[in-house]
Amino acid sequence: MKQILHIFAKDSRHFWPEILVSLAITGVFTWTTPNGWGQPDGLGAGSIPSGLLQILTNSLALIVVASWWLLIARVVHDESLVGDRQFWLTRPYEWSKLLAAKGMFLLVYLYVPFLISKLLLLKIAGFHPLSYLPGLLFNLLLVTGALVVPLLAIATVTANFARMALVVLALILGIIAALVISAAKATDISISGFTIPFIPWVCGAVIMLQYATRRLWFSRLLLIGYPIVICAIALVAPGDTLTESNYPAVTAKEAPIQLAFLQAGNQIVTVSSLQNKKLVQVGVPLQISGVANGHMLMSNNIKVSIEAANGVHWTLPWQYMPSEQYLPGSQNANVYFKIKRTVLESFRGQPVTLHLTLALNDLRAGLSRRVAMQTGEFPVSDFGICEPQIGWDGSQQITGVTCRSALRQPPFNYVEVVWSNEPCTGMTTEPKDGVKGDGWTGALDRSPAEFGISPIWVAGIPLSNGERSTGGEGTSQKLRYLCPGTPLTFTRYDSVRQFRSDLTIRDFHFPQ
């Protein structure tokens, strides 16, 4: 223990400028972050537009991470693990105690200030910090696995900060290249299911290996080879196996949804160009029915196969589809998929059999709460703390709702309101006199916390019918209002199961 404390004290003396810079950045981040919780379209502290405050807050979060990077690089490189001519090798250092001293340094000067910052922000936001200790610890675990451990691993296989910066830059460029290749293939790389959880383990193994043996080339091979293997697997089979295991197939009789191709009136197949000129997006109109009362189905991914009469067959792997919500009753909706322009052209002008497979999430309505619209902040149980949003029309009327939650997005909720067409005069808006607005907000995942530097999540609730047409020539839009006292209804939806549903469309024609 004496040796650990000796190394810790030495590092504290050597790197006091870096420590002060990191503490100052964390302090500024804690001080400025609450200013970005205000009106999305209004003014923040000091009459600064809140959109600019959000940008500043996000930039400060990146600067906080950069200060960690500097701190980690400096403390690790002080006893460099690269080469065999370092002065520290002549000292009677035990590798385990050296590693423990570095861990103590990061605990005191990185984790403790970061945890204090989160506790203060939770308190300022109106949440009881001690009630969120499990979530705080889980968030620290996520930050450790996603940022601290990888940065430590890179520091152990580089000789100085400049070389470490080159490695980090190469890693960022590699991620960008993988995303570009993914876009070019008209699919989405899905690697999170079984590969991302192993990243901190691989990086941890590199750290232990370097401190215990300093086998540099083996450590570098392990650190470089793992992401290459991940990308190779993801590009060859981008999430197909994972998606199909998470969304088991059900028979048509068991499926809680019926899909039918719809092509009547204005409901037509659409083809639109994308920013990537090699790809186009196809929209297929469907009639959705069969959803049980008290349930909602949400689309997540789609898989497409096309077969022509001459036997030519093409299958697109699973790709992300913008989420759509399907409620009880019959409704029309479009499903979209991306396809290479050259492939689409080869199937045009002839009838084809189009087979669609949708990955769907079955959700059931649960706890419902009704709260009255307030002119100031008001809590919503099992959701967060909300406040009115003032519109851009200068009327100082309430035109929306913004809510904040602790450590993660709030539970997935269906929100209903009643809009008033005219500015509020102190009376609540009755349903018969107003216009209904609704929207979906929140997340289905219920882990104790999400990855993030700030412990507070802020988002406006997207509500429909918030504007109305003024009519006449040169028609413009006018805002609707939420009057104080008017009820807002929050209904929580929880996932019941996930499944795949199929639809085969014969004699299908892509439009010219």
Q: 219 and 278: one domain? A: no
Give the helix ranges, DSSP H, for 78-198.
95-106, 112-125, 133-143, 149-156, 161-184
Q: What is the DSSP string of 171-189?
A: HHHHHHHHHHHHHHTTS--
Note whether 188 and 238 are within 8 A (CB). Answer: yes
pLDDT of 56 over the 60 cut:
yes
Does any domain span residue 490?
no
More confident site: 288 or 198: 288
Q: What is the mean pLDDT of residues 20-43?
A: 80
Instruction: Write the CATH number for 288.
Output: 2.60.40
Q: 313 and 430: one domain? A: no
- Cα–Cα distance for residue pair 339/58, rounded to 1 Å: 35
The percent of residues in the chain predicted with pLDDT above 90, rounded, is 40
- Cα–Cα distance for residue pair 213/232, rounded to 1 Å: 30
The percent of residues in the chain predicted with pLDDT above 70, rounded, is 86
pLDDT of 438 over the 50 cut:
yes
Q: What is the mean pLDDT of residues 110-127?
A: 95
pLDDT of 401 over the 80 cut:
yes
Q: What is the mean pLDDT of residues 69-85?
A: 86
Torsion angle, CA of 90/91/97/102, rounded to 10 degrees? -80
Does any domain span residue 41?
yes
> Could you tell me how far CA 434 lies from the centroid of its own chain?
35
Q: 311 and 425: one domain? A: no
What is the pLDDT at residue 71?
A: 94
Q: What is the mean pLDDT of residues 401-409?
A: 93
List the single range of 191-205, 281-295, 391-405, 407-421 with lowest mean pLDDT: 191-205
Q: 119 and 264: one domain? A: no
Q: 443 and 295: one domain? A: no
pLDDT of 53 over the 70 cut:
no
Q: 79 and 196: one domain? A: yes
Triad 243, 245, 248: Cα angle to 5°: 100
What is the pLDDT at residue 417?
A: 93
Q: 353 and 415: one domain? A: no
Q: What is the mean pLDDT of residues 78-105?
A: 82
Does any domain span residue 252?
no
Q: 435 and 503: one domain? A: no
Q: 284 and 349: one domain? A: yes
Domain count, the chain: 3
Q: Which structural domain range is residue 352 located in?
A: 258-363+498-508
- Cα–Cα distance for residue pair 57/457, rounded to 1 Å: 12
- Cα–Cα distance for residue pair 314/467, rounded to 1 Å: 44
Confidence (pTM) = 0.84
Q: What is the mean pLDDT of residues 198-216?
A: 87
Taking the alpha carbons of 104, 109, 111, 115 in that order, is the dihedral positive or negative? positive
> Which SS3 state, helix, strand or coil, does residue 100 take?
helix
More confident site: 366 or 89: 366
Residues 146-190 pLDDT 10s: 899 999 999 999 988 888 888 888 888 877 776 666 655 555 444
Does any domain span residue 250?
no
- Cα–Cα distance for residue pair 403/351, rounded to 1 Å: 50
Does any domain span residue 11?
yes
Q: 154 and 290: one domain? A: no
Does any domain span residue 253?
no
Q: 77 and 218: one domain? A: yes
Q: 118 and 152: one domain? A: yes
Interacting residues of 213 by C-beta distance below 8 A, sequence separation 6+: none
Residue ending a domain, choose from 238, 267, 294: 238
Mean predicted lDDT score pLDDT of the chain = 84
